Amino acid sequence: MRRLPNDSGIVELQDQKHMDADELVELCTRTEVSCPGFKKFDFFEIVDGTDDFSAKRIVGRGGFGTVYKGQLTTGVMVAIKRLDENATVFDFNSELQLASLQHINLIRLLGWCVHGKERLLVYEFMHNGSLDRIIFEKTKAALLNWHKRLQIIKGLAEGLVYMHKHSLLWIIHGDLKPNNVLLDQDMNPKIADFGSARTLSSDLEEGRTIRIVGTSGYIAPEYASRGLYSVKIDVFGFGVLALVIISGRKNIILEEQGDTVGNLVRDAWQLWSDERLHELVDPLLRDGHEIYEMVRFVQVALLCVQEDPVDRPTMSDVIAFLNFESTSLLPDPKPPSELINRDATDFNLSAYVGQLNRTVAITITGSAPLSTRVRIIVDPET
């Protein structure tokens, strides 16, 4: 991979700039012109459709806003993201990238509304909600049989290939997790919440930032520790997601032991190495899975969660791997690094948990090229 010319970690100041209403209106208006179908919605129609943003209408919370179920005057159901006052221009602009994307496995952004202090984005509504509300609930997880789980994994892979190869820019989601995968009435997956998304041009394969936003258990090691981002951070998140979908388990980072990939990743690799992968499959599936499919999908997932991004495949490779009929054609994944004591790591993490905004503020020092404060969104549900 190419690195930034000066490898300095400099970040554009507008990343942290708070949203000015006039600036956002101009931005959305320009987006309307370039993206047919994207339009402005009436604020009072949104207020009526959400019962004045009633708590009973809340269907999700993201790092930068709350999502409500709403009904337009036409009767159409929509999802409305009400951005927090702490959201920045970067967050809003990242979401707006969706307006130009059209893929069956990406959520559709329908329009916008800026009214006073309100910043609202309107999306298509997914009747089965987010993946985390199903996969981790025993009464609901049974709805996802083996075939449907594999279709969700394949759908996510297809959506990511589209993002990573779309137009002249490579779009990186940056926060893949079960909460950000929505399911339609047929359980087809839609990648959602692009508030952390970034773009890279084809002549620059890697970037660096001090504004690190991700979720514990799904964030790639090089992004969490050094702020390096590329399409390979999405490959890592996809790999963890695939293991979660197959196992029905959460991925927990063992921070005290210097862990960078999580206990689910480590367990999956050990079971694969011991040829005991049947123990990884969600017990709710019982005998409904084909052993050869399970081995292939887990092996591909393990390739995606390699600690060194150079060892991870591209998402185009992933789709090819998932379609192989024999695992003998697949490379063997390298084992995760040994767990060590926290004091033995090559960088020190000084962290505290902010209970009100559910974030962890981290200072990275030591072998990292810069010392700075970064922010990682921590979802207590995952």
> Which residues fall in the annotated binding site for ATP?
81
How many whole angstroms separate alpha carbon 137 and alpha carbon 248? 9
How big is the chain, counted in residues? Answer: 382
Structure tokens at 25: 């209106």
Asked if 66 contacts 78 with a C-beta cutoff of 8 angstroms, the reply is no
Of 91, 132, 175, 234, the catalytic one is 175
CA distance 232 to 238: 10
Structure token digits, residue 314? 């591209």
List the beta bridge partners of residue 80: 68, 122
**Measured distance CA(317)–CA(44) in Å, rounded:** 47
CA-CA-CA-CA torsion for 322, 327, 333, 338, nearest 10 degrees? 120
Return the number of other C-beta atoms located less than 10 Å from residue 21's C-beta.
13
Pairwise CA distance, residues 98 & 27, whole Å: 14
Residue 15 annotated to the active site: no
Instruction: Kindly list the distances between the CA atom of residue 336 and the CA atoms of 203, 264, 294, 306, 343, in Å, as whole numbers in the listed order.
Output: 31, 11, 20, 7, 19
Among all residues, which ones are annotated catalytic?
175
